[in-house]
Amino acid sequence: MKKMRISCPAFVTRLSNHNEIKDDLLDLIEKQPASPTQNEFEKVTRSDYINHIAPIRPYFKLLKPYLIKDLRPILDDLEVHPEDFEIQNYWFQQYHKTDLYAWHRHSHTSWIIIYYLELPEGTPQTQFKDLYDNTILTASVTEGDILVLPGMIKHCSPINDSDKRKTVIAFNSTIY
């Protein structure tokens, strides 16, 4: 087997209206039916992932126009027409002290999108592995940022050792 190195980007951009809609998003998430998840791969205090194929949820209705607008430069960079891009599903996750999500990939996904709705100082940033040599990289993100990774990239949310809550909204997307 011959292994070749190719470049594949990951992107970080900012949700332009984060400060204006953060509290409203958190209020809508608080009202959203959710449950904890705990198994060998994850411990998340609160998530609506189990319902990720359900009808459009109120927090997504609020977020979607801003998200699509702020993803546009990334789609342009990838030479993808907006009509060839689709968000397949989405969910929120709230990580409290000792919560984590182990190394995983998203199946049937072109691009993973993670919006950091709450990322207080001391809460963990997403880590991901370089496909060529498995080097572990840490996303340089702050609250309000959007991380976009190829779907085949292994990534994780390390253990939250902080007493502060981390909230993300994650999306699977497809490019046709």
Judged against a pLDDT cut of 90, whether residue 153 lies above it is answered with yes
Q: Which two tokens stand for residue 67?
A: 């998200």
Judged against a pLDDT cut of 90, whether residue 55 lies above it is answered with no
Cα distance between residue 11 and residue 172, in whole Å = 15
Please tell me the predicted confidence (pLDDT) of residue 52: 63
Cα distance between residue 69 and residue 71, in whole Å = 6
Judged against a pLDDT cut of 90, whether residue 75 lies above it is answered with yes
Q: How does residue 53 score in pLDDT terms, banded at 50, 70 and 90?
A: low
Q: How does residue 50 score in pLDDT terms, banded at 50, 70 and 90?
A: confident
The residue ranges of every structural domain in the chain are: 11-175
Average pLDDT for 128-146: 96
pLDDT digits (tens, 9 = 90+) for 91-106: 999 999 999 999 999 9
CATH topology (fold) of 11-175:
Jelly Rolls (2.60.120)
The answer to whether 75 and 87 have CB atoms below 8 angstroms apart is no
Mean pLDDT of the chain: 96
pLDDT digits (tens, 9 = 90+) for 18-49: 999 999 999 999 999 999 999 999 999 999 99
Judged against a pLDDT cut of 70, whether residue 8 lies above it is answered with yes
Average pLDDT for 158-169: 98
Average pLDDT for 86-90: 94
Please tell me the predicted confidence (pLDDT) of residue 103: 98
Judged against a pLDDT cut of 70, whether residue 82 lies above it is answered with yes
Q: How does residue 51 score in pLDDT terms, banded at 50, 70 and 90?
A: confident
83 DSSP 8-state letter: G
Cα distance between residue 136 and residue 172, in whole Å = 22
